[in-house]
Chain A
């Protein structure tokens, strides 16, 4: 069998392949050759073959048949073989293959080998892919190596120990004695790895952490090392752009952070050194910034004094002005984390953060936006809102929804005046209307309802807004609702806050009709518009016929929702035409018929039909000796033969009436249900009332009559009275 081709040849040939298919062909040919060579158990070329296999594996082709070969290579005595064998093991094997356990013995032997490089290789492999079983078996060896005098091996052993601890946390105890001397190293490499080992131990186990804090006096040692690093002069070996061993500095800072968390003593010991690092480090290069960043993170985490925290936040503020995008990104992320705790300090950098909103980079913009929302408060709301609205205009669509909701929340919390609030919301609706979340519309409607004095202004502005453009659904929905409610204010042309515009009823109906017809309106919007038109029938005086015509058109609409509404409204028109002027419902009590999710704020959910009957007049059922009882009526929507009577008892004498009991009886064809009263004392001088609810079932719709009996204590004596109530209004029982 001819000698297999060298690695370089293979690589070169594969790279000349011009198509995927060609490459695959070459690889398959070579794989076949390699496999037959493996079968022949050829020792001399095994190394070469496995190297080629590894290359193919890196390209992405399956190479699992080489695993056993790697093991054989590891067992060989030649260094090159071992090298490739271990590399193959690290690349091809992992915990999931069963074969890896076979390696354990080999590694054990190699860990005791005479050559440090072989030992190093073994440690490397173990540290890379050792499974928990392997780690358990070999931990003892690793620990022994941790104590050797060879610094090259100590480094590797320390990191190997880190891996062991990660896989098998119970073995942490084993490494404890070895760590005692670790920090006395001069060798930076060993120092570095020992710090890593200590960090890992402290992170994993709180017991270790406590142990290190108290017994080992770790913090002073670390502080000393750090000081030496900064103070000492130029050290060519570990220098990076003028700063001595930044990696070690960063690591030590990280360990200090873990030690100082939630611990006052340690934090105090660290304060000086942290301040020193923060002020002395050069910031012109990335290296310096890396150290400063780690310092800031540490200061934030431990219980540092406030001066130090302010220093940290100032450093972050300086980062924000840096040209390097990475640094700005990092600063914004950390500021976001600290804004909860150190709010005032971060406020100082508000203008810089707001400037970041105009950055070109998307992730910076997002973080700046989140941070800006966190910084909004009562004092800066106006300025911030201006910036945020400008941002909303110009930002990418993926931000608009979040930005809009953020603006709404901020406006709700800190709005300086109602008018400003409404203005802001309208501005959001017009600029980013289609991205606003669904629940914004009912919230806005509620807000408008609550600000009574702004109704005229609001409806005018909304009208003007949709005159030009009615494609933004939330805006149109809100506008339609407002016009429906406050249309009369619109046409009457009164508005205090702004120039009133002259609008006729026809114009208003025009706009609502075009919303209905437009293709851009969703069915929800059309529903709003139709209901608005309907409401206007009670507010407008001259165009009622037009309204009726529009509504009846939609009685045959394809959209079921619209059709249902139109039909019901039509029926309403027909039935109550004669009552329309008197029964004009007050604005706040006009409910919606449908079960649309945007059922409006606190409005009663009575169906429209019975709305007319909320005008049932109340009667005085009894008035004697200073006690007055009034009945008010409601008809139930679910059952037309039920009348709900609410009695109110008031007392105009100078003394309270106590132990007040109200009883009622009705003729046999009725059924009565008496609910519990609000109290049993009627206070004097009409200062309060007792309320009680009576439900009367009247299936035969007969004239309602009731006999009532009252018992109470007044002026020290018990009183009792019987009376008949006959003056029930016809609407209460018909």
Chain B
């Protein structure tokens, strides 16, 4: 519990991915959301490691924007997200 929200986290090796949600939300569903997100990161960076995340933080933000928006889950299909990300990358 944290102020009037709660924090849901999942640990992957040395990294903790934390999500802050309302008290009334479904904990287990957001655990799945975290896992989904990590899998996308993995695909996008090809076996992601911590350094990848540090050096390419703006790309990580892009992934976040693709999957979550306005505080809600936006896209759940990994293939679709990856397609979008590749397209965005080609523009840069």
> Which residues of chain A have a CB within 8 Å of any CB of chain B?
7-8, 11, 15, 51, 54-55, 58, 79-80, 83-84, 87, 90, 117, 123-124, 127-128, 152, 155-156, 159-160, 162-163, 166, 188-189, 192-193, 196, 236-238, 240, 245-248, 250-251, 254, 286-287, 289-291, 293-294, 297, 326-327, 330
B32 touches A246 (CB 8 A): yes
B33-92 interface (Cβ within 8 A of A): 33, 36, 54-55, 57-58, 61-62, 65, 69-80, 84, 87-88, 91-92
Residues of B with C-beta under 8 A to A127 = 69-70
From B33, B36, B65, B71, A163 is in contact (CB under 8 Å) with: B71
Complex Cα–Cα for A233 and B92 (A):
38
Nearest CB on B from A154, distance (A):
11
Residues of A with C-beta under 8 A to B55 = 7-8, 11
From B61, B72, B74, A87 is in contact (CB under 8 Å) with: B61
A250 touches B91 (CB 8 A): no
From B26, B36, B57, B70, A297 is in contact (CB under 8 Å) with: B26
B28 touches A293 (CB 8 A): yes
Nearest CB on A from B77, distance (A):
4
A79 touches B91 (CB 8 A): yes
Nearest CB on B from A12, distance (A):
8
Nearest CB on A from B11, distance (A):
12
Complex Cα–Cα for A286 and B26 (A):
12
Nearest CB on B from A555, distance (A):
55
Nearest CB to that of A246 among chain B residues? B32
Interface presence of B21 (CB below 8 A): no
Residues of A with C-beta under 8 A to B74 = 155-156, 159, 189, 192-193
Residues of A with C-beta under 8 A to B33 = 247
Best-buried of A117, A123, A124 by chain B (most CB within 10 Å): A124
A51 touches B58 (CB 8 A): yes
A83-B92, A247-B32 known; A294 vs B73 contact (CB < 8 Å): no
**Size class of B's contact patch?**
20 to 34
Nearest CB on B from A188, distance (A):
6
Nearest CB on B from A296, distance (A):
10
Complex Cα–Cα for A238 and B27 (A):
20
Residues of A with C-beta under 8 A to B28 = 286, 289-290, 293, 326-327, 330
Interface presence of B29 (CB below 8 A): yes
Nearest CB on B from A447, distance (A):
37
Residues of B with C-beta under 8 A to A247 = 29, 32-33, 36, 73, 76
Beyond A289-B28, A293-B27: 18 further Cβ-contacts under 8 Å? A7-B55, A58-B57, A156-B74, A159-B69, A159-B70, A159-B72, A189-B80, A193-B72, A196-B72, A237-B77, A237-B79, A240-B36, A246-B32, A247-B36, A250-B26, A251-B73, A291-B29, A330-B27
Residues of B with C-beta under 8 A to A327 = 28
List, sorted by A's number, 30 A–B pairs whose CB atoms are closer than 8 Å.
A7-B55, A11-B54, A55-B57, A83-B58, A83-B92, A90-B61, A123-B69, A124-B65, A156-B69, A159-B69, A189-B74, A189-B75, A189-B76, A236-B79, A237-B78, A237-B79, A238-B76, A238-B77, A245-B77, A246-B29, A246-B32, A247-B73, A286-B31, A290-B28, A290-B29, A291-B29, A293-B27, A326-B27, A326-B28, A330-B27
A294 touches B29 (CB 8 A): yes
Complex Cα–Cα for A79 and B29 (A):
35
Complex Cα–Cα for A285 and B65 (A):
28
A155 touches B36 (CB 8 A): no
Nearest CB on A from B78, distance (A):
8
Residues of B with C-beta under 8 A to A87 = 58, 61
Complex Cα–Cα for A251 and B29 (A):
10
Complex Cα–Cα for A18 and B89 (A):
34
B32 touches A286 (CB 8 A): yes
Nearest CB to that of B58 among chain A residues? A87
A250 touches B76 (CB 8 A): no
Nearest CB on B from A499, distance (A):
52
Complex Cα–Cα for A238 and B73 (A):
13
Nearest CB on A from B63, distance (A):
12
Nearest CB to that of B73 among chain A residues? A247
Complex Cα–Cα for A400 and B61 (A):
47
Complex Cα–Cα for A160 and B71 (A):
10
From B31, B76, B78, B92, A80 is in contact (CB under 8 Å) with: B92
Residues of B with C-beta under 8 A to A236 = 79
Complex Cα–Cα for A399 and B65 (A):
43
B76 touches A248 (CB 8 A): yes
Residues of A with C-beta under 8 A to B92 = 79-80, 83
Nearest CB to that of A248 among chain B residues? B76
Residues of A with C-beta under 8 A to B27 = 293, 326, 330
Residues of A with C-beta under 8 A to B70 = 127-128, 159-160, 162-163, 166
Nearest CB on A from B51, distance (A):
9
Complex Cα–Cα for A688 and B76 (A):
84
Best-buried of B27, B29, B61, B88 by chain A (most CB within 10 Å): B29
Nearest CB on B from A320, distance (A):
15
Nearest CB to that of A8 among chain B residues? B55
